[in-house]
Amino acid sequence: MHPAFSVIFLTTLIGAGQGLFLALYTGQVYAFFHLLPAQADGRFYAIGSLIALLFLIGGLVASFFHLGHPERAWRSAAKWRTSWLSREVIVLPGFMGVVFLYAVAHGFGWHVPLVTFGTLTLDATMVLGVLGTVLCFALFICTAMIYACLKFLQEWHSPLTVVNYLLLGSASGFTLATAYSAYTAPDLVGFYGKWAMVITLLALVSRVAALVRNARLKPKSTLQTAIGVRHGKVVQKSQGFMGGSFNTREFFHGKGAGLLRSVKWMFLVLVFALPVLLLAGGLSSSLSILLSAAFVVQYMGLLAERWFFFAQANHPQNLYYQAIS
């Protein structure tokens, strides 16, 4: 497939925003059970949530560059009963709204107890966090299922697509939370940094599993099945025209196999190996610059990973439109 940079930025930006929100709320839950130091004034969660919201807004803005008629964007929500894209269009603004309310609740100190369990008190921020977490996971599923539901694209049609979107977004979010806490809440750096490394390593396992699976795929369609001829040797001589078309541009990346291999190894290093080393170095030396570099490097790698994800998918129509003897 032809990778659209608008979609690449959409999925990576909202993934980082989702992951950051999950990291912030996870920290609050740990503090709720007195397993982490509580952030008394709420500014840590408020500012962090606004940063997550900026990533979500950036992804939403990027998505408009993928539309031929942005003024008709509202129509994309009409098919929510059958379309994962429509569901994503509905869930994303809802999640953004909850993230904003979560930031406001912390910023204005809406900590009036709603329910009390002994020494534990449940307030509005905890309730909004639960709602935001549900919408966050729903958004991960909706975004990933846009691609995983396409049976004719074998590289995408796998539960690993959903797992990878979830883990990669969470990894980038927790890495960002580590860098953020290094400047605003140093007592949480170890917590976020260790979780960032664990999730990054889990993402490595799932992404490598997808690469191994896709390398073993055998195309279900051939020239023989396309035209109903069982002859063992069928050779295409021409596409039937000299110039390009929508089919030749939008369903094929136009790059050689060598570049795809290079991009694959590049994102494996930038998304997984190097961030883990930078996080480990930053945690052991207390150097905030290494933690910030870990997120920057990982996000750059995610751009390459998402480009590879789209480019690797081989549309069946390429049997015809990308074959010239």
Full domain range(s) for residue 176: 5-222+248-321
Q: Which pLDDT score, from 0 to 100, does residue 325 have? A: 39
The CATH number of residue 253's host domain is 1.20.1630.10
d(CA 300, CA 297) in angstroms, rounded, equals 5
d(CA 190, CA 187) in angstroms, rounded, equals 7
Tell me which residue has tokens 């130091």.
37
pLDDT tens for the 325 residues of the chain, in order? 777 889 999 999 999 999 999 999 999 999 988 899 888 778 999 999 999 999 999 999 998 887 767 666 677 788 888 999 999 999 999 999 999 999 999 999 887 777 776 667 788 899 999 999 999 999 999 999 999 999 988 999 999 999 999 999 999 999 999 999 999 999 999 999 999 999 999 999 999 999 999 999 887 777 777 777 888 787 776 666 666 667 777 777 767 778 889 999 999 999 999 999 999 999 999 899 999 999 999 999 999 999 999 988 887 777 667 655 3
Q: Which pLDDT score, from 0 to 100, does residue 239 have? A: 64
**Residue 210 counted as domain residue:** yes
| Total count of domains within the chain | 1
Q: What is the DSSP letter of 232?
A: S
**Residue 199 counted as domain residue:** yes
Q: Which pLDDT score, from 0 to 100, does residue 286 have? A: 86
**Residue 162 counted as domain residue:** yes
**Residue 215 counted as domain residue:** yes
**Residue 234 counted as domain residue:** no
d(CA 223, CA 217) in angstroms, rounded, equals 17
**Residue 239 counted as domain residue:** no
**Residue 84 counted as domain residue:** yes
Structure tokens at 196: 């960032």
Q: Which pLDDT score, from 0 to 100, does residue 171 have? A: 98
